[in-house]
Structure 1
Amino acid sequence: MLNRYPLWKYLLVLFVIVIGFLYAAPNLYGEDPALQVSNSHGDALQVQSLDQIKDVLEKDKIPFKSVSFDDSQILVRFHDTDDQLKAQGVVAKALGSNYVVALNLAPATPAWLKAIGGSPMKLGLDLRGGIHFQMQVDMNEAINKTLAQTVQDFRTDLRTERIRYSGIRQQKDQIYLQFRNEESRTKAMSYLREHYRDFLFTEANQGGRFAMTAAMTQKKLQETQEYALQQNITIIRNRVNELGVSEPLVQRQGADRIIVELPGVQDATRAKEILGATATLEFRMVDENADPAAAAAGQVPPGDQLLYNKNDQPVVLKKQVILTGNHITDAQSAFDEYSRPQVSIKLDGSGGNRMSEFTKDNVGKAMATVFIQYKPVGKPKAGEKPKFKKVEEVINVATIQSRLGRNFRITGLENINEAHNLALLLRAGALIAPIQIIGESTIGPSLGQQNIKHGFQAMVYGTLILLVFMMIYYRKFGLIANLAVLCNLVLIVGAMSLIPGATMTLPGIAGMVLTMGMAVDANVLIFERIREELNAGRGIQQAISLGYERAFSTIADANVTTLISAVILFAIGTGSVKGFAVTLMIGIAASMFTAITGTRAIVNLIWGGKRVKSLSI
């Protein structure tokens, strides 16, 4: 029979609408200004910390809604932002530097909705306020680090294979190897070509010397740059987690840039200090036979390097690096048995083995811990790459008392705050290549609220105009289309709330308005087609059936082409553009469902299979 759905189709439409309403509901409850308190060491918080926070707030007469555990953190909810800002300084001072106290907005979703996974939409930076950073990675330093490590690998391998060489050093973007005779060079080239296929080896006879050069292949060069970018993104995400920011955005932009968005964060100084710092450690042997005073005067022995400690005293170190900070898996700040600040370090398996093998043969000798930072020099002009200054400082010289393993500690730090910051940076990871913040913007929460207000007003006014027009022009069918538009809006909000990673931005609100217009446009095509069939003398039931069937191909073509555009925007866009694309894709799927399947179900229920003399269309 024409215009009748089987029962399962009606139930399917009802199920989708109910689910949409259910997961859109958390957005009605809003959010509470809150403090998110976590342990900077990553340890779980205790009940004592919760009680301490309550006592501090009550003592300073700062009203709060609740204090509770949220996963491994403590969440303190407030009635307004003024109380939230007052409480941040008070709580941070009371808990000390071992805790991270971050401003946050906590959803006020009821427990029964949380139990089924309900949560409000995640708001982007333009709606919630926060900080936006644009960072640039120094790819030249990433390549230099790779070449420096390869130089060490070449030396180790040639010694193991008993192939004699006169010298191996880095020359700009390649490695220069020199040998005593042709036979040694031939053996070395044969071995290295077999084991280092990512390098191109070329003979280089200069002044009768037997030498060769090794340069990265184009593929190796691209892999090095890609690895540096991806590894830096991972490490920056770890550092963002250390800041205690909820729902951050860290993504690549182009070949050497990273975008970081921190919703709800207003302390730009602290964020820049942690995200922009490029810190790592190197462990090297002290050349105890060298004279530091002579080295400071310019007489540095070959194979050594002159550095200074915090007191500007010269220290002569071997250039060979025993271990780098890349092998550090954990770092914790604390006090030693003499109440002096220290950082306890844990290495991965490879680093532990290397440290163990080296120290077993060097017991009684001095080993130095070198702290390395890359600080930006000036601000790059348009089109220029950032420049960095490498700052190396000896923070500790200690005698190796016994064979070390995966766990050891660094002492000689001035205060516990310095130990805490060093531990945080090392725990979050050492950046593969230095980065510089080349763009920064801060959006206040009041501006975000204003954006939400204006965007909501635009959506409401636009929707009201659509509803009135459809009701007047298409009468009862217009009311059905209006109901479909409202359901379409609910489904978009429900999907945006349900999908992990989906973020609503100001352009996303524009995408919602656009998809509502597209949903009405689909109904207009259907209703006009029904009118044409009625004018052609078709029966009412046949006109309805043909109207939906023949309009479907046109509606599908229009939506598919828009969907392709949305996919392209999502693939190549960043930030707000991605937010618009996500909303548009969800809106297209929702509008196709409500405008075709949804309205057809209602029309079938009202007019399907019945004797109807006229249609209100």
Structure 2
Amino acid sequence: MLQIPLWKRVVIFGVVVFGLLYAMPNLFYDRVERHNDAVAAIEAQGATPEREADAALWPNWLPNGLVNLGLDLRGGAHLLAEVQVEDVYAERMNAYWPEIRDALRDERETVGTIRRQDAPAGELHIQISQPDGMARAMEVVRGLAQPVVSLTGVGSTDIEVAGDGDMLIVRLTDAEMAATDDRTIRQSLEIIRRRVDEVGTREPTIQRQGTDRILIQVPGIGSADELKSLIGTTAKLTFHPVVGRTSDSEEDPGARNVLLPSMEEEGVYYILEETSAVSGEELTDAQPTFNQQDGRPAVSFRFNPAGARKFCEYTSENVGALFAIVLDNEVISAPRINEAICGGSGIITGQFTVEESTELAVLLRAGALPAEMTFLEERTIGPELGADSIEAGRIASMVAFAAVLVFMALSYGWFGIIANIALLLNVGMIFGLLSLIGATLTLPGIAGIVLTIGMAVDANVLVFERIREELKTAKGPARAIELGYEKALSAILDANITTFITAAILFIMGSGPVRGFAVTLGLGILTSVFTAIFVTRAIIVIWFDRRRPKTIEV
């Protein structure tokens, strides 16, 4: 018999209502967006009358999820950056030097005195005064090697050691360089994502392309230059002992020293020890503040326990000496250490504006980029172009919608009207699912929805044509409808499962616009099958129970 239990009807229409309820906020997009921004600002920075007014624009008990608009719909900035992974090799060798130095000093009787020499990036050259002890020196350094932490470098060590006369040469292995490249890109991705998230942008696209490139797309940001200023600097904070001060930019700083310009004093340069005493990587927090002495904007910072201990030890041992605070190879300030600083916190002062101190705090909290980035491609997409895209997508959707509705009504009469109702519910449920999962809608995503509109009625066409076939065999209306749904089910599932597999492959293998198309297509397939198999059948059953027609026309 053509019947659906009451509990199944409740579940079917409950799912529909649930989907439409989550889609509803998109009808009031601007109002809900202002509400969400105000709520987030109140939680982070406290309430103000303006924020409370915006928060009251939408009831808190209603869903407030929105379909995020992608770069091509909302406007924003697009960058393609190349990470200079080679920069990390020299840092790896610098980090190895203290450990190797201490190990070789313990073998002084065999290797003699040691002196570090200049070397290419990724190599460490150490001259020993007793070449006869080269074999022992190589053995000691090889004992410091660590296994490569990567799937492709299993069984390999991170350094290889060679001797050339009185010169001990230490270099990174190929396996370690490949692993370092991968770690550098992953770390850069995470830091960029944190920096962009700090600004509060919605659904940025930050993903790896190739071996050393990163694609960054941020909807809603003003320009590519604004995005570059946020992520383009390494924000590398270090603390160095001061060797001297000069006004000659060409002066030779000496071995293992660097010459860096002063940010505050034009024409002044500081000679610093190349090896930093404390690194900004050991910071745990940074906040914009004001210097209590002169009221100028500044940035307060706090170290983790290891950094606080190192900072305390160094300042205790060097009271009276100058100590340079270096940001991105510029000396912010070089104060004198008047006493030991053991509280684990401090303040960075300089010629900052409020905006600059806020941006610096954001960069320091997110961490330093491990390597410099070169921007190969940059584009700014204005909101006007996004509005044009939305309008074009809206017109295309309406034309497709109207054509399908008219075709179904003319071809299948009352049954076609029922299919049209299910189609309207289907589109609403797609937007509900997009809002629920926080997906981003792009122009290809709109194309996926338009394609779904055409595909959504395909299942109903299969059912209705099967009902027609059953009616020709002189079966009653109830039996014909029941057999129509049963016999069309396998064809509906086969067609939609294969299409869903295609959408899944596009999502896994694709990126950017391709994934946006795959998301809307995949969700559209799920809602289409649900509405065709369950919703239209439930509506037909309810209509049939009330009218009890002796004959039907499809």
Q: TM-score, normalised by structure 2?
A: 0.86
2:531 to 552, 575, 594: 594
Q: Which amino acid aligns with 2:271?
A: V
1:117 aligns with 2:63: yes
In the alignment, the residues of structure 2 paired with residue 401 and residue 568 of structure 1 have an alpha-carbon distance, to the nearest angstrom, of 63
| CA shift digits 1:507-530 (9 cap, x unpaired) | 212111211221211111122222
- SS of residue matched to 2:334: strand
- SS of residue matched to 2:319: coil
Matches within 5 A, 1:264-279: 264-279=220-235
1:503 to 431, 434, 440: 440
- SS of residue matched to 2:378: strand
| CA shift digits 1:148-205 (9 cap, x unpaired) | 3233443355558989662456533333455441463254145213688863554523
1:437 aligns with 2:375: yes
Q: Which amino acid aligns with 1:462?
A: A
Contact 1:328 1:345 in 2 (8 A): yes
1:326 aligns with 2:272: no
In the alignment, the residues of structure 1 paired with residue 185 and residue 114 of structure 2 have an alpha-carbon distance, to the nearest angstrom, of 36
In the alignment, the residues of structure 2 paired with residue 34 and residue 43 of structure 1 have an alpha-carbon distance, to the nearest angstrom, of 14
The change in CA–CA distance for 1:415 and 1:15 in structure 2 (over 3 A counts) is closer
Q: Which amino acid aligns with 2:481?
A: I
Report the more deviating stretch, 400-409 or 297-306. 297-306
In the alignment, the residues of structure 1 paired with residue 398 and residue 321 of structure 2 have an alpha-carbon distance, to the nearest angstrom, of 75
User: Per-residue deviation at 1:419?
Assistant: 4.5
1:530 aligns with 2:467: yes
User: Per-residue deviation at 1:491?
Assistant: 0.8
1:131 aligns with 2:89: no
How many pairs are equivalent? 535
In the alignment, the residues of structure 2 paired with residue 593 and residue 44 of structure 1 have an alpha-carbon distance, to the nearest angstrom, of 41
2:510 to 553, 564, 573: 573
2:140 to 175, 188, 194: 188
Which residue in the other structure is 1:81 paired with? none
Q: Which amino acid aligns with 1:319?
A: E
Which residue in the other structure is 1:4 paired with? 3
1:360 aligns with 2:316: yes
In the alignment, the residues of structure 1 paired with residue 115 and residue 239 of structure 2 have an alpha-carbon distance, to the nearest angstrom, of 23
In the alignment, the residues of structure 1 paired with residue 340 and residue 106 of structure 2 have an alpha-carbon distance, to the nearest angstrom, of 23
Report the more deviating stretch, 593-602 or 446-455. 446-455
- SS of residue matched to 1:365: coil
User: Per-residue deviation at 1:229?
Assistant: 2.2
Report the more deviating stretch, 324-333 or 510-519. 324-333
1:150 aligns with 2:96: yes
User: Per-residue deviation at 1:319?
Assistant: 2.0
Q: Which amino acid aligns with 1:185?
A: A
The change in CA–CA distance for 1:308 and 1:36 in structure 2 (over 3 A counts) is farther
| CA shift digits 1:351-403 (9 cap, x unpaired) | 2222223333222222222222xxxxxxxxxxxxxxxxxxx222322222222
Q: Which amino acid aligns with 1:399?
A: R
In the alignment, the residues of structure 2 paired with residue 43 and residue 154 of structure 1 have an alpha-carbon distance, to the nearest angstrom, of 49
User: Per-residue deviation at 1:466?
Assistant: 1.0
Contact 1:193 1:201 in 2 (8 A): yes
Contact 2:147 2:157 in 1 (8 A): no
In the alignment, the residues of structure 1 paired with residue 77 and residue 143 of structure 2 have an alpha-carbon distance, to the nearest angstrom, of 52
User: Per-residue deviation at 1:593?
Assistant: 0.2
Matches within 5 A, 1:378-527: 392-405=329-342, 406-413=344-351, 419-500=357-438, 502-527=439-464
| CA shift digits 1:212-236 (9 cap, x unpaired) | 5332352x33432233223222322
Report the more deviating stretch, 565-574 or 417-426. 417-426
Contact 2:280 2:368 in 1 (8 A): yes
Report the more deviating stretch, 459-468 or 333-342. 333-342
In the alignment, the residues of structure 1 paired with residue 311 and residue 475 of structure 2 have an alpha-carbon distance, to the nearest angstrom, of 88
Give the strand-richer structure, 1 or 2.
1
| CA shift digits 1:464-487 (9 cap, x unpaired) | 111111111112221221121111
Which residue in the other structure is 2:152 paired with? none
Contact 1:333 1:423 in 2 (8 A): no
The change in CA–CA distance for 1:298 and 1:563 in structure 2 (over 3 A counts) is same
- SS of residue matched to 1:31: helix
Contact 1:526 1:551 in 2 (8 A): yes
In the alignment, the residues of structure 2 paired with residue 479 and residue 416 of structure 1 have an alpha-carbon distance, to the nearest angstrom, of 61
The change in CA–CA distance for 1:161 and 1:263 in structure 2 (over 3 A counts) is farther
Report the more deviating stretch, 481-490 or 531-540. 531-540
In the alignment, the residues of structure 1 paired with residue 164 and residue 472 of structure 2 have an alpha-carbon distance, to the nearest angstrom, of 94
User: Per-residue deviation at 1:305?
Assistant: 2.6
Contact 2:223 2:380 in 1 (8 A): no
Give % identity. 37
Which residue in the other structure is 2:170 paired with? 213
- SS of residue matched to 1:205: strand
Contact 1:356 1:404 in 2 (8 A): yes
Q: Which amino acid aligns with 1:506?
A: L
The change in CA–CA distance for 1:608 and 1:154 in structure 2 (over 3 A counts) is farther
User: Per-residue deviation at 1:504?
Assistant: 1.6
Which residue in the other structure is 2:122 paired with? 173
Q: Which stretches in structure 2 are left out of the alignment for 5+ residues?
A: 150-155
Contact 2:282 2:307 in 1 (8 A): yes
Matches within 5 A, 1:52-91: 67-69=50-52
- SS of residue matched to 1:118: coil
The change in CA–CA distance for 1:231 and 1:195 in structure 2 (over 3 A counts) is closer
- SS of residue matched to 1:320: coil
In the alignment, the residues of structure 2 paired with residue 240 and residue 35 of structure 1 have an alpha-carbon distance, to the nearest angstrom, of 21
| CA shift digits 1:314-362 (9 cap, x unpaired) | 4322222212222222233422424455432211222222222333322
Q: TM-score, normalised by structure 1?
A: 0.77
Contact 1:201 1:212 in 2 (8 A): no
- SS of residue matched to 1:401: coil
- SS of residue matched to 1:398: coil
User: Per-residue deviation at 1:587?
Assistant: 0.6
Q: Which stretches in structure 1 are left out of the alignment for 5+ residues?
A: 52-66, 70-75, 78-105, 373-391
- SS of residue matched to 1:528: helix
| CA shift digits 1:380-438 (9 cap, x unpaired) | xxxxxxxxxxxx22232222222223212334547666555444432332211112332
1:254 aligns with 2:210: yes
In the alignment, the residues of structure 2 paired with residue 430 and residue 571 of structure 1 have an alpha-carbon distance, to the nearest angstrom, of 30
User: Per-residue deviation at 1:246?
Assistant: 4.2
1:308 aligns with 2:261: yes
Which residue in the other structure is 1:378 paired with? none
Which residue in the other structure is 2:305 paired with? 349
| CA shift digits 1:563-593 (9 cap, x unpaired) | 1111122223233222211111111110010
Which residue in the other structure is 1:84 paired with? none
- SS of residue matched to 2:526: helix
In the alignment, the residues of structure 1 paired with residue 107 and residue 531 of structure 2 have an alpha-carbon distance, to the nearest angstrom, of 72
The change in CA–CA distance for 1:416 and 1:265 in structure 2 (over 3 A counts) is closer
- SS of residue matched to 1:184: helix
Which residue in the other structure is 1:141 paired with? 87
